[in-house]
Amino acid sequence: MSSIGGVPFYILEFGDELVYFTPYTITLFLLALVFTVLVILSRPERQVDIAFGGDAYTTKQILKDEMRFRRFMSIACGLASMGAMVTGDIFNFTLFTAMVGITNVGIVAAVKSPHVQNAAYQYGLVALSATVPLFGAAAVYAASTGSLSMIELARGTLPAVPIIAKALLVIGVVGEGMAPFYAAKAEMFRAPGAPYVIMCSLSSLLIFLRVVEVVMLG
């Protein structure tokens, strides 16, 4: 098998669910893992507001309940990203991507600021509508090739994947928080608490790097 990810050196077949590690996916997986551990260990940043034209500044307080909820959501987001990095099944990949979208909303949902709440809601609407092309892509993959397994697709013995399926997959991933829809997400980053908010960006970045590999299969 030759693909952008290189030769897989480990394939775990668990029924029809399969997981495989190539040099490419294992790098992304380790990145997600390291960052999840960092999120577990680190304390949240306390945002500082400086009053313009003076020396006065205030530090925002983060309540313990809020912090714990956001940490939980960040860990869930890390786990979903890890799953998306190593899965060898198109449908599981789309499910993990959708889950990253939900947890991204969850990370900022506990913040009380109305700006952040509103942005999270608008982003959530985009993420929810992005599941339509995502699941649609997986269904068209299954309908046109008869398989959802990335290993099977990479062998090249199956019928070619129609370009529309690949396009839908990319649109779906983009909708979960990439380039043109990023505007709503940027507003979300006004939420205080650095390591958790960065998890939103990192997970979308990882998912995008993985979808590049997925699209090149079959």
Partner 1 sequence: MMWGEYSIGLLLVLVSGVIGFAALAIEIDDLHRLLLLDLVEISSLGIIALLGTDLAEALVLPGLTVGIAELLALSQIYITKERLKDKPVKGLNIEVIRKADAPVVISAFLVVYGLILSGFTGGGVAGLGLVFFFMSRGYQEDLNMLEMASGISWAIWIFAFFVFMFLPQYWFVALMCAAVGIVLKVTVKMSLVGTMWGEVRE
Question: Contact residues for partner 1 (CB under 8 A)?
Answer: 91, 95, 98-99, 101-102, 105-106, 109, 114, 117-118, 120-121, 124-125, 127-129, 131-136, 138-140, 142-143, 148
Closer to partner 1 by Cβ: residue 22 or 203: 203
CB-count burial class (<10 Å; 0-12, 13-18, 19+) for 174: buried
The residue among 43 and 115 lying less far from partner 1, judged by its C-beta, is 115
Q: Which residues pair with 139 in a beta bridge?
A: none
* Nearest distance, CB of residue 99 and partner 1, angstroms: 7
Smallest distance, Å, CB 106 to partner 1?
Answer: 6
Q: Which is nearer to partner 1, 36 or 131 (CB)?
A: 131
142-173: burial string, b at 16+ Cβ within 10 Å, e else: eebbebbbbbbbbeeebeebeeebbebbbbbb
Cα distance between residue 119 and residue 125, in whole Å: 10
Residue number with CB closer to partner 1 (26 or 120) = 120
Instruction: Tell me the three state secondary structure of residue 20.
Output: strand
Nearest distance, CB of residue 143 and partner 1, angstroms? 6
Please tell me the distance from the alpha carbon of residue 86 to that of residue 96, in angstroms, as a whole number: 11
CB of 17 or CB of 31, closer to partner 1:
17
In the complex, what is the shortest distance from the CB of residue 198 to partner 1, in angstroms, rounded to a whole number? 20
91, 147, 168 from 156: Cα distances, Å: 19, 12, 21
As a whole number of angstroms, the distance between CA 80 and CA 93 comes to 10
| Min dist. Cβ of residue 83 to partner 1 (A) | 13
Min dist. Cβ of residue 57 to partner 1 (A): 28
- Looking at the DSSP assignment, which residues form a beta bridge with residue 50? 57
